[in-house]
Amino acid sequence: MIEGVLLKGYGGFYYVYAEDRVWECSLRGRFRVKDQDFLPGDRVRILPDEEEKATIEAVEPRRNALIRPTIANVDQAILVFALTSPKPDLNLMDRLLIQVTDADIEPILVFTKLDKFREDTLTEISEEPSVTDVYRKIGYTVFEVSNETGEGIEQVGARLKEKISVLAGPSGAGKSSLFNALSPGKKLKTGELSIKSKRGRHTTRHVELMVCAGGLVADTPGFSSLFLPNLSRAELAECFPEFAQRRSQCRFSSCIHDKEPNCAIKEALERGEISSSRYEHYLIFLQEVIEAERRY
């Protein structure tokens, strides 16, 4: 028996990555009824046959499961934003960070188009504190890359090894380009799937994991329209590390860092230790959370 990870189900078969290759698998009879229960990311045990194919014999319990995209056992989310064209939408970035943090998935911020950003800033004089510094200072893992020149790509690749990652971020940010930069020349072993799928039925919205830089990655088109998960006010503040770390210094233990006096978060904001855009977004999200509470 070999241990592997399910990449995708398609046309009645399951494609499993194990021992550095992709196996076309069918299911043992007893699994058939629970067909739809398999998700990309599921850890399975397979039994190879003489024709280099295999059957799925067992499935491990899931550590977690994302709903959109539907992937199990996600370790980390690579949040991809361009440094320029388009300018990063920090509201969306903070929203994604909350989603990911609340799902207990590690966020990694990758800012793309470093080459273009450098060109742009040569002609501009005024420089705001750089967005990457803001997020680094909070303690997030931040990379700046160019998918064009390859700068910084290796460092991102090193973080993917043996992990299940999802790529998220707005369209045009460079997610697909990043994926390609990370897997030079290696057009995925799943390439033959498209031929086989011709006889299969048309599946909509199918999600798949792909082998990339020694790990498994899903490039997800539908991760950019995000609403906040059902959070309480306290949970929301917990998702801002720079707030959570100062919370015990607020005068009231129930402080939601809005109108309360002697709030350590607002004091840190005034001293410039907390970014005003982060705090602004916090207040927007807090309003959403309060409105959601009213509705239920």
- Report if residue 84 touches Mg ion, rule: CB under 5 A: no
User: In the bound complex, what is the minimum distance in angstroms from residue 176's beta carbon to Mg ion?
Assistant: 3
Residue 39: contacted member of Mg ion, ligand GDP, Zn ion, none (CB under 5 to 8 Å, by partner type): none
Using CB under 6 A, pick the residue from 73, 146, 183, 220 that binds ligand GDP: 146
Helix (H, G, I), strand (E, B) or coil at 164: strand
Helix (H, G, I), strand (E, B) or coil at 227: coil
Residue type for 129, please? P
Q: What is the rounded distance in angstroms from the CA atom of residue 124 to the CA atom of residue 117?
A: 11
User: In the bound complex, what is the minimum distance in angstroms from residue 278's beta carbon to Zn ion?
Assistant: 14
Nearer to Zn ion, 257 or 278 (CB): 257
Q: What is the rounded distance in angstroms from the CA atom of residue 144 to the CA atom of residue 160?
A: 16
Residue type for 201, please? R
- Report if residue 224 touches Mg ion, rule: CB under 5 A: no
# chain residues binding ligand GDP, by CB under 6 A: 14
- Report if residue 97 touches Zn ion, rule: CB under 5 A: no
Judge whether 21 and 51 are in contact, CB under 8 Å: no
- Report if residue 183 touches ligand GDP, rule: CB under 6 A: no
What's the angle, vertex CA 112, arms to CA 283 and CA 139, rounded to 5?
Answer: 50
User: In the bound complex, what is the minimum distance in angstroms from residue 221's beta carbon to Mg ion?
Assistant: 7
* Number of Cα atoms under 13 Å in the Cβ half of residue 97: 27
Residue 203: contacted member of Zn ion, ligand GDP, Mg ion, none (CB under 5 to 8 Å, by partner type): none
Q: What is the rounded distance in angstroms from the CA atom of residue 239 to the CA atom of residue 100?
A: 9
Could you tell me which residues are beta bridge partners of residue 59? 44
Residue 12: contacted member of ligand GDP, Zn ion, Mg ion, none (CB under 5 to 8 Å, by partner type): none
- Report if residue 257 touches Zn ion, rule: CB under 5 A: yes
Element (H, E) at 21: strand 21-27
User: In the bound complex, what is the minimum distance in angstroms from residue 22's beta carbon to Mg ion?
Assistant: 22
Q: What is the rounded distance in angstroms from the CA atom of residue 99 to the CA atom of residue 50?
A: 45
- Report if residue 101 touches ligand GDP, rule: CB under 6 A: no
Residue type for 282, please? Y
User: In the bound complex, what is the minimum distance in angstroms from residue 131's beta carbon to ligand GDP?
Assistant: 16
Element (H, E) at 196: helix 193-196
- Report if residue 147 touches ligand GDP, rule: CB under 6 A: yes
- Report if residue 115 touches ligand GDP, rule: CB under 6 A: yes
The structure tokens listed for 180 are 């390609």
Q: Return the range that interacts with ligand GDP (CB under 6 A); candidates 19-27, 167-175, 204-212, 267-275.
A: 167-175
Residue 278: contacted member of ligand GDP, Mg ion, Zn ion, none (CB under 5 to 8 Å, by partner type): none
- Report if residue 130 touches Mg ion, rule: CB under 5 A: no
Q: What is the rounded distance in angstroms from the CA atom of residue 281 to the CA atom of residue 45?
A: 44
Nearer to ligand GDP, 116 or 233 (CB): 116
Residue indicated by tokens 């994302």: 66
Q: Which of residues 155-194 bind Mg ion (CB under 5 A)?
A: 175-176
Q: Which of residues 233-252 bind Zn ion (CB under 5 A)?
A: 250
How many other β-carbons are positioned within 10 Å of the β-carbon of residue 118? Answer: 14
Kindly list the residues in this chain that would bind Zn ion in the complex (CB under 5 A).
250, 255, 257, 263, 265
Kindly list the residues in this chain that would bind ligand GDP in the complex (CB under 6 A).
112-113, 115-116, 146-148, 171-177
